[in-house]
Amino acid sequence: MLPMPVMFVFLLSHLMFSLSGQQAQQTKSNMVRAKARVVEQNYCSGDADAFTVSLSLEIEIENPSKMPVHLLWPLVPLVGKVASSVGDAEAGRFLYEQTARHYPQGKTGFERLKLEPGKKVSKRSGYYLVARHDAAFSLPGSVSPGRYAVVLVFNPEEVPPTQMAGPDTVKSITTEAFLVEVPADPKLVSCAAGEKSQ
């Protein structure tokens, strides 16, 4: 067993290290603020039980800090979290979470955008939800008609070049919760492949 003074120093060092790590993680996550807005919503034909809610989104990304940051783009919504309300989403209570699968059709041309303090930039992206015609039908990772809060986590489709991934470069963003309305009797259309982030 370690002597009491040594044990105290060890515990104090561990505590300071943990707080420092949490502080660094919070600083990194607070480098930008992202808000998503639905600019177009279509309902794509599926089968007798389900259809797809296709969302065209405008992503407003703001630098709330006092220092410039660089934003890596394009990023894509690789993780989607769906909650019953904005309050539930903010409290971390989600109905389900899903990870999308993306297969780049060639080399991604990344940009490293400089975002000055207090400045904003708007980007376009897309996402989709699987919806059920009948709320009683069981289908994991889907929603029934109603209103939902969605949180998206954007990341690169592929590993960016080393020279574009500095410590002040934002390579992942999480949107604030935004609302999506799924109607009970949507007008279904035939949809093409989902749009990529622009």
Q: Chain-centre distance of CA 113, in angstroms? A: 19
pLDDT at 123: 96
Beta-strand ranges (E) seen in 27-172 are 33-44, 50-62, 69-73, 76-83, 96-99, 111-115, 120-132, 146-155, 169-170
pLDDT at 163: 79
| Cβ(42)–Cβ(54) below 8 Å | yes
Q: Where are the domains of the chain?
A: 33-189
Say which residue, 5 or 186, is predicted with more confidence. 186
> For residue 190, is pLDDT > 50?
yes
> For residue 156, is pLDDT > 60?
yes
- pLDDT grade for 104, boundaries at 50, 70 and 90: low
Please give the Cα distance from 152 to 82 (Å, whole number). Answer: 9
> For residue 126, is pLDDT > 50?
yes
- List Cβ neighbours of 45 (8 Å cut-off, separation of 6 or more): 51, 188, 189, 190, 191
CA-CA-CA-CA torsion sign (90, 91, 95, 101)? positive
* Other C-beta atoms lying within 10 Å of the C-beta of residue 10: 11
Say which residue, 81 or 5, is predicted with more confidence. 81
Burial class (CB in 10 A: 0-12, 13-18, 19+), 66: exposed
24-78 confidence digits (pLDDT tens): 333 444 589 999 999 999 999 999 999 999 999 999 999 999 999 999 999 999 9
